Amino acid sequence: MSEPLAAEAAALDAADPLRGKRAEFVLEGDGGEGAEVVYLDGNSLGALPRAVPGRVADVVAREWGRLRVRSWTESGWWTAPERVGDRIGRLVGAGPGQVVAGDSTSVNVFKAVVAAIRLAGQDGHGRDEVLVDAATFPTDGYLARSAARMTGCRIRAADAADIADAAGPRTAVALVNHVDYRTGRLNDLPATTAALHAAGARVVWDLCHSAGALPVGLDAHGVDLAVGCTYKYLNGGPGSPAFLHVRRDLQPRFDSPLPGWNSHADPFGMSPDYVPADGAPRGRVGTPDILSLLALDAALDVWDGVDPTAVRAKSLALTDFFLRCVRTYVPAGRVESLTPDAHDRRGSQVSLRCVPDAEAVMAELVRRGVVGDFRPPDVLRFGFTPLYTRFADAERAARVLAGVLGR
Selecting among 21, 346, 381, 396, the annotated active-site residue is 381
Cα angle 184, 187, 188 (rounded to 5 degrees) comes to 150
Half-sphere exposure of 334 (CA within 13 A, CB side): 19
- Local structure of 15: helix, strand or coil: helix
Choosing from 137, 254, 321, 329, the catalytic residue is 137
Among this protein's residues, is 329 annotated catalytic? Answer: no
Cα(245)–Cα(96) distance, integer angstroms: 11
Catalytic residue list contains 232: yes
Catalytic residue among 206, 289, 297, 373: 206
For residue 324, indicate whether it is catalytic: no
Furthest-apart CA atoms within the chain: distance in Å: 72
SS3 255: coil
Residue 21 and residue 252: Cα distance in Å, rounded? 40
11 φ/ψ angles, rounded to the nearest 5 degrees:
-65, -40
Active site residue 314: no
Q: Of the listed 182, 185, 232, 390, which one is catalytic?
A: 232
Q: Give CA 173 to chain center in angstroms.
A: 21
> How many angstroms separate the CA atoms of 106 and 65, rounded?
32
CA angle at 286 for the pair 285 and 287, rounded to the nearest 5°: 135
What value does the CA radius of gyration of the chain take, rounded to a whole number of Å? 22
Marked catalytic residue, from 25, 110, 231, 322? 231
Q: Is 111 a catalytic residue?
A: no
Q: Which residue numbers are catalytic?
A: 137, 206, 231-232, 381
